[in-house]
Amino acid sequence: MAREAVPPEIARHAPLAPMYAHRFPLGAAVEPRHLEGADGHLLAWHFNAVVAENAMKPPRLQPAEGRFDFAAADRIVAFAEERGMTIRGHTLLWHEETPDWFWRAPGGGPASGHLVLERLRAHILAVVGRYRGRVHAWDVVNEVVDPAAPGCLRNDRWLQVVGPRYVEAAFRYAHEADPGARLFVNDFETTQPAKRDCLLGLVRDLRARGVPVHGMGHQMHVDVDRPSAREVDGTLAAFAALGLDNHVTELDMSLGPAPRRAPGDETALLARQAARYGEFFRVFAARPDVKAVTLWGLSDADTWLIRGARQGSGDKPLLFDANRQPKAAYREVAGAAR
């Protein structure tokens, strides 16, 4: 995007990131299309950090073995670097986003655990190596924990084919590729006690074995009811007590399931949302272990909560409305910085 003057309808609102500059970078998840036009201006005006919502996922970066496509990811990185924004990397390993070729042996048939790990190493060295010194933190593994599983690790293909050591391997490869990068376990519902205990156990065990894990990524896809800011604070404290950094990696706040929303409810829900955003940011600002906060999108015009199967949900989870104008939530977040 050429650096044209910021349109007045954006420039008339105080930019958010500088209000938190003394505490943590404030980021948004974007697709390349958000680098243009009104979204590009909104991103550059209010945020000083960025993460690729999808462009750095393995099937995008390596759709076929050895064939890399960095075009979309590079555009996001270039936008950020031109503006001095920090960049998080998402993600190196996720059961939902592992290309099928990972699991196939060259002659057909299933790949061995050994081959899968070789492929993981090649992928991570290529990706983390390309952005070495530029992407400051990586979600190395995403959503690997399941409190209902016997050993707390999700019973997915990674576990079935490689066994539990895939987690450690991913961290070691990432560290090998960029010893300066901060490396994270990233997951959702980290305030849920059983899930939290699994995650605490996982990172404790990794650290005890000298695996380079530096932080916990808390997605925080929350809603207007749950979890409470106090529960969030308690969870952050539990990870900080292990000496880990906390990153809030995918924050958004759903108004809740559309069928349960009565007509006319929206005003009250948006007010509740605003108040809770304020409470959450007060917790983040008060905790030195919170080293980054990222919103999972820019505005209510385009978020995963209104795409695909959720189209028509009428959800409005972010700080800016569908016209890219600040919501009450923006004002509460700004207020919480003071």
Q: Which residues bind ligand 9MR (CB under 6 A)?
A: 53-54, 57, 97, 142, 219, 250, 304
Q: Please report how close the Cβ of residue 49 comes to ligand 9MR at its closest, in angstroms.
A: 16
- Taking the C-alpha atoms of residue 243 and residue 255, their distance in angstroms, rounded to an integer, is 34
Q: Which of 300, 306, 304, 289 is nearest to 330 (CA)?
A: 300
Comparing CB distances to ligand 9MR, the nearer of 70 and 304 is: 304
Q: What is the tally of helices (H) and strands (E) in the chain?
A: 12, 9
Q: Which of 195, 238, 181, 185 is nearest to 216 (CA)?
A: 185
Residue 28 beta carbon to ligand 9MR: minimum distance, rounded to whole angstroms:
12
Nearer to ligand 9MR, 39 or 250 (CB): 250
250 catalytically annotated: yes
Please, which residue, 273 or 294, has the CB nearer to ligand 9MR? 294
Q: Which of 53, 189, 250, 332 is catalytic?
A: 250
Whole-number minimum distance, CB 250 to ligand 9MR, in Å?
Answer: 5
Radius of gyration of the chain (CA): 20
Q: How far is the CB of 252 from ligand 9MR (least distance, A)?
A: 9
Nearer to ligand 9MR, 101 or 304 (CB): 304
Q: What distance in Å separates the CA atoms of residue 231 and residue 280, rounded to the nearest whole number?
A: 10
State yes or no: is 4 an active-site residue: no
Tell me if 275 sits within 8 A of 268, measured CB to CB.
no
Catalytic residue among 53, 143, 189, 332: 143
> 310: burial class by Cβ within 10 Å (0-12, 13-18, 19+)?
middle
Enzyme catalytic residues: 143, 250
